[in-house]
């Protein structure tokens, strides 16, 4: 049920993000969700795309350090308290969220959040036990 995300190391230099988006555009890859974590020197760009293998290959060929990371895509009710409910479940199960970000597209009337956990399998099981919908990677790339 887990999904895959591509992480890319980029130095904080003008034009580096556009280098990445340029490579992906050229390879015909669609970006579905994105988040940047940064420090004063460097950033880590995290992407969900419609074709991981192709994206990874194109970026590596251009000399980027790329890594695939397991993440979990979760349906979140698009109303006050929607995200809070999910986080409460995780808190009670003592599962740590490393980071999270929002998916661009909705799934039906629900929002989609991407989570990175310290214990991916445990997190998926806990959420599903509580009736939360987890979207698998294949479905995610077709949303």
Partner 1 sequence: MIFNIEYETMPREALESIQLKRLQTVLSRVYATVPFYKKKLDDAGILPGDIKTLKDLEKIPFTTKQDLRDNYPFGMFAAPMANVVRIHASSGTTGQPTVVGYTARDINTWAELMARALSAAGASRGDIIHNAYGYGLFTGGLGVHYGAEKLGASVIPVSGGNTKRQAIIMRDFKPTILTATPSYALHLAEAAEEMGISFKDLHFKAGIFGAEPWSEDMREEIERKLNLDAIDIYGLSEVMGPGVSIECLEAKKGLHIFEDHFIPEIINPETGNALPYGEAGELVFTTITKEAFPILRYRTRDITTLNPEPCICGRTHVRMGKVSGRTDDMLIIRGVNVFPSQIESVLMQVEGVEPHYQLIVDRKDNLDTLTVRVEIGEKLFSDEVKQLQELENRISKDIKETLGVSAKVKLAEPKSIARSEGKAARVVDNRKI
Residues in the site for partner 1, rule: CB under 8 A?
5, 7, 9-11, 37-39, 41-44, 46, 63-67, 69, 98-99, 116
- Nearer CB in complex with partner 1: 40/142: 40
Q: In angstroms, give the least distance from the CB of 126 to partner 1.
A: 21
| 61 CB-side CA count, 13 A | 10
Rounded Cα distance, 45 and 130, in Å = 31
Task: Tell me the closest approach of the beta carbon of residue 106 to partner 1, in angstroms.
Answer: 25
Residue 34 makes CB contacts below 8 A (sequence gap 6+) with: 45, 46, 47, 48, 101
Please give the distance of CA 138 from its chain centroid, rounded to a whole number.
Answer: 13
Q: Work out how close the CB of 36 gets to partner 1 at its nearest, in angstroms, rounded to a whole number.
A: 10
Nearer to partner 1, 9 or 28 (CB): 9
Q: Which is nearer to partner 1, 67 or 85 (CB)?
A: 67
CA torsion, points 26, 14, 66, 45, in degrees to nearest 10? -100
Q: Is residue 115 a contact partner of residue 100, using CB atoms and an 8 Å limit?
A: yes
Q: Quote the least distance from Cβ 119 to partner 1, whole Å.
A: 14
Closest CB to partner 1 among residues 37, 128: 37
């Amino acid at each position: 049920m887990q999904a895959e995300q591509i992480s890319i190391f980029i130095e904080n230099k003008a034009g580096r993000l556009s280098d990445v988006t340029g490579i992906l555009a050229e390879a015909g890859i669609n970006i579905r969700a994105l988040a940047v974590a940064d420090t004063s020197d460097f950033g880590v760009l995290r992407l969900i795309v419609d074709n991981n293998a192709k994206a990874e290959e194109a970026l590596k060929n251009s000399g980027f350090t790329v890594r695939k990371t397991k993440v979990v895509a979760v349906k979140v009710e698009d109303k006050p308290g929607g995200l809070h409910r999910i986080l409460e479940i995780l808190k009670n199960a003592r599962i740590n969220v490393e980071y999270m970000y929002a998916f661009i597209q909705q799934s039906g009337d629900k929002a989609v959040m991407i989570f990175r956990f310290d214990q991916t399998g445990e997190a998926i099981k806990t959420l599903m036990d509580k009736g939360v919908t987890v979207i698998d990677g294949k479905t995610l790339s077709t949303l």
